[in-house]
């Protein structure tokens, strides 16, 4: 980080993500957003810190909890909300919803609904860049639950074997859906697990946006310079349930409140205030600007058209002949 401007940018990104998702809760409760909705409230430091360390030509592969990643990558709020509203102006033409945000122009390759499904995709993108001698890096974000999947192990092995420019970013929020980390992993030090494949690995305070940015910048520089893949265990916590359908009965209330005391938005804001870099008026101005942006995005998404029924089979390929022909 180079100073005040960068730190304020991280705060602005986290506030945009937090307020956007709070509005999504309201819209979902009102029936404007349907289907599944997975929120990253509490994990904003990961999105802001990781994405701010990437270059525009670098690729990003995300999970189904990707609103924050998409916003930090620069995808417009209107495009995201229109997608969740099922509108034709959505980033996936309203066909994917919350879990399938995608923007090829910004090299944001999902939004993947399958746990660990994006990890092999990231390795493939990195392999393509390596074969074509392009100085790009692929950042792959996934949760701790993905570390228990076979794709994780196969992908890390190949990335290390082929010396690929991938930065594996594990958002370790301690729970894979409703299962605590220690109940599904015999080795809970995930950085140590990744290191067994010969991948440079280290743990990072995922509630500290500056620490996340600095760790990601080091990993990205290493991968881009030909140092091979890196693995970051970003130790964070989601304040809300796994999804809007989740009753969240598997966590102790005291545990949640203890983590809330480390709210990454307020911790960074407090640090900036203590250093004389942020005052009440500037914070209010920032909040108001974010509020206006969200209001405008909601209005635009609500006014956007639905895709015509006659386009239902567009982008659909039939691979089996019709029955009876």
**Contact predicate 110/101, CB 8 Å:** yes
Show pLDDT as tens, one digit a residue, over the chain (325 residues): 557 789 999 999 999 999 999 999 999 999 999 999 999 999 999 999 999 999 999 999 999 999 999 999 999 999 999 999 999 999 999 999 999 999 999 999 988 999 999 999 999 999 999 999 999 999 999 999 999 999 999 999 999 999 999 999 999 999 999 999 999 899 999 999 999 999 999 999 999 999 999 999 999 999 999 999 999 999 999 999 999 988 898 999 999 999 999 999 999 999 999 999 999 999 999 999 999 999 999 999 999 999 888 888 888 877 666 654 4
- List the CATH number of the domain containing 278: 3.40.50.970
Q: Is residue 325 part of a domain?
A: no
**Domain carrying residue 270:** 4-311
| DSSP code, position 229 | -
Per the structure block, which two tokens stand in for 283? 């914070």
Give yes or no for a contact between 12 and 74, defined as CB atoms under 8 angstroms apart: no
What span, in angstroms and rounded, lies between the C-alpha atoms of 251 and 238?
Answer: 11
As a whole number of angstroms, the distance between CA 60 and CA 83 comes to 19
User: Given this model, what pLDDT does residue 309 score?
Assistant: 86
Residue 209 pLDDT: 98
Q: Does some domain include residue 101?
A: yes
63 located within any domain: yes
- Residue 187's Cβ-count burial label (10 Å; 0-12, 13-18, 19+) is exposed
In whole angstroms, give the CA distance from residue 170 to residue 144: 6
* b/e per residue 49-66 (b: at least 16 CB within 10 A): bbbbbbeeebbbbbbbbb
Total domain count, the chain = 1
Q: Which residue has the tokens 């974000």?
A: 141
User: Using CA atoms, how far apart are residues 190 and 277, in angstroms rounded to an integer?
Assistant: 36
Domain annotation covers residue 320: no
Strand segments, DSSP code E, in 27-184 are 59-61, 138-143, 166-172, 175-176, 179-180
Q: What is the CA radius of gyration of the chain?
A: 20
pLDDT at 204: 98
- The pLDDT assigned to 325 comes to 47
- CA atoms lying within 13 Å on the CB side of residue 116: 14
Q: Which H or E element spans position 274? A: helix 264-274
pLDDT at 322: 60
Residue 291: inside a domain: yes
DSSP 95: S
Structure tokens of 132?
């074509």
Q: Which two tokens stand for residue 304?
A: 């956007």
Cβ atoms within 10 Å, residue 249? 7
In a domain, 324, yes or no: no
Residue 208, token pair as written in the block = 């500290």
Q: Is residue 321 part of a domain?
A: no
Structure tokens at 318: 């039939």
């Amino acid at each position: 980080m180079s100073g005040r401007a960068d730190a304020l940018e991280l705060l602005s990104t986290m506030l945009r993500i937090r307020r956007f998702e709070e509005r999504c809760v309201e819209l979902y409760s009102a029936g404007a957003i349907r289907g599944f909705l997975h929120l990253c409230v509490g994990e904003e430091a990961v999105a802001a810190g990781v994405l701010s360390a990437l270059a525009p030509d670098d690729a990003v592969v995300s999970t189904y909890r990707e609103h924050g990643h998409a916003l930090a990558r620069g995808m417009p709020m209107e495009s995201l909300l229109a997608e969740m509203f099922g509108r034709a102006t959505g980033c996936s033409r309203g066909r994917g919803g919350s879990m399938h945000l995608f923007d090829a122009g910004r090299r944001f390759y999902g939004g993947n609904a399958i746990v660990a499904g994006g990890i092999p995709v990231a390795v493939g993108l990195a392999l393509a860049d390596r074969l074509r001698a392009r100085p790009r890096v692929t950042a792959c974000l996934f949760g701790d639950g993905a570390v228990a999947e076979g794709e994780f192990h196969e992908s890390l092995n190949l990335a290390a074997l082929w010396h690929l420019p991938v930065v594996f970013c594990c958002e370790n929020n301690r729970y894979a859906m409703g299962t605590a980390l220690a109940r599904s992993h015999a080795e809970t030090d995930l950085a140590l697990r990744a290191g067994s494949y010969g991948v440079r690995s280290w743990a990072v305070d995922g509630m500290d946006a500056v620490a996340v940015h600095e760790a990601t910048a080091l990993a990205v520089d290493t991968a881009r310079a030909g140092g091979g893949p890196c693995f970051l265990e970003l130790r964070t916590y989601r304040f809300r349930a796994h999804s809007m359908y989740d009753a969240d009965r598997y966590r102790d209330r005291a545990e949640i409140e203890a983590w809330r005391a480390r709210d990454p938005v307020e911790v960074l804001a407090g640090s900036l205030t203590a250093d004389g870099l942020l005052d009440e008026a500037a914070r209010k101005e920032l909040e108001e600007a974010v509020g206006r942006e969200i209001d405008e995005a909601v209005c635009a998404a609500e006014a956007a058209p639905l895709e015509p029924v006659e386009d239902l089979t567009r982008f659909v390929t039939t691979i089996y002949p019709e029955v009876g022909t």
